[in-house]
Structure 1
């Protein structure tokens, strides 16, 4: 089995990416089991085209930040016709994992369609897998809380059977947020089997150090994507406004700008 690995990078050189560093250190890469494509969403040239000098590595520029779903579709298109019986793996550019990741994923590969690693954040909170209730995603307090009906997860580290993409493309109306939630919702509608695998990744989702203007720009993107996810139905609209209020209160506490509540 080959791992067709999509790494989306944004405004950094690939040698500064913890995901790339982790990838190159694995036995799976050294043994030629990985075909990697670096999908570059950067808004200026970080000279990432040199990524393609490495064995089994490809570089794909999106000519600016085109969003996550378009980047995934472009990467999958690059490997079109090669994915049957293989695995597609997704990574952000700031995920840390060790040699056990690909070994665990290869061992787990079987009758399931989607495989989620165990991901902790910088505070050792369990980020993924998570629980999708009837209306929103909540973090699990422990892995024992995860059930087959309510399992959810984030993009980075996700492994997907290649044949899924014979008749599926990521919804490009999502730019950044909820790409993963929408994908998993679509897969559940198709009755695909989703499991988690006992291999651990680290992801830094800290907002510390982000200035007010950057945070507000990020918030505007989130608003559009989250609204897109919850746009149908009265209860979904109520949940959307609840989630926005929670996020505004979080930013208000961080930045002390009362005008945040008006956004």
Structure 2
């Protein structure tokens, strides 16, 4: 079995309205010597092209915020041919030094298409999660997740590059649920998934910390994306968006979330 090392992995980071100098993900990956493709969705110039290219990495200016799926697809078009695995990161993930050491242990001992870390917030297991009656539902423990019904968020996900010979992200989904859309399609393609239980990432979850204004704007985006994700099941879309609205109304004690503006 061929053995892989850090040079066989390319990381994709989508930057939004921040400098790579302030991105903990970028700085950690630079420190560890990981090849990177940076897609810049920023609406202003933060000097990222100069920073990224000076570090010998690939920079893509998206010309404004074009959404996560379009950024990922733009990055995939720039992946070097010798890349064996693609790793996705948010720009604010603090990656531990041994993350790739542990990942490579899994990669080199398993013929798997998708490797998932355990992603935690201060209060929850955010990823992996499980599909239950067409919904992505959080798990209280990793042990309760069945690989046949598993889903996950993008951050930290390591994907065998050959997967993208037959897949591109749905550009009608702007931000939310592109990860669940990806995992749903991977199940249809019978891709093999492995949970790296010993590899943990700590992630801030914006809906736990956002202000009223930020939460409202984010829910408008989510509303748009849920309509696309559930385009073949309108009742499930209504169920999901209503549930999210109720959570936000309770959290912020505001009825602002009852009526959502059109995002796109």
TM superposition shift of 1:134: 2.5
1:97-145, CA deviations, whole angstroms, 9 ceiling, x for partnerless residues?
A: 211111111111131100100110133x111111111320111111111
TM superposition shift of 1:146: 1.5
Whether 2:21 is the aligned partner of 1:15: answer: yes
Aligned residues: 251
Unaligned runs of 5+ residues in structure 1 are none
Write out aligned runs for 1:120-199 (5 A): 120-123=120-123, 125-197=124-196, 198-199=198-199
Q: 2:252 aligns with which of 245, 252, 255?
A: 255
TM superposition shift of 1:260: 2.2
RMSD (CA atoms): 1.7
TM-score, length of structure 2 as denominator length = 0.89
Partner of 1:96, secondary structure, is: coil
1:60-112, CA deviations, whole angstroms, 9 ceiling, x for partnerless residues?
A: 110100100110011110125344xx100000111112111111111111311
The answer to whether the 8 A contact 1:8-1:38 is kept is: yes
Whether 2:242 is the aligned partner of 1:245: answer: yes
Per the alignment, do residues 206 and 70 of structure 1 end up closer, same or farther by CA in structure 2, a change over 3 Å counting?
closer
1:22-70, CA deviations, whole angstroms, 9 ceiling, x for partnerless residues?
A: 22333xx1xxxx2201111111111111232454412111010010011
Alignment match, 2:102: 104
Once residues 131 and 144 of structure 1 are traced to their aligned partners in structure 2, the CA distance between those partners, rounded to angstroms, is 11
Unaligned runs of 5+ residues in structure 2 are none
Partner of 2:147, secondary structure, is: coil
Once residues 141 and 14 of structure 2 are traced to their aligned partners in structure 1, the CA distance between those partners, rounded to angstroms, is 29
Whether 2:99 is the aligned partner of 1:93: answer: no
TM superposition shift of 1:166: 1.5
Once residues 255 and 166 of structure 2 are traced to their aligned partners in structure 1, the CA distance between those partners, rounded to angstroms, is 46
TM-score, length of structure 1 as denominator length = 0.90
TM superposition shift of 1:217: 2.1
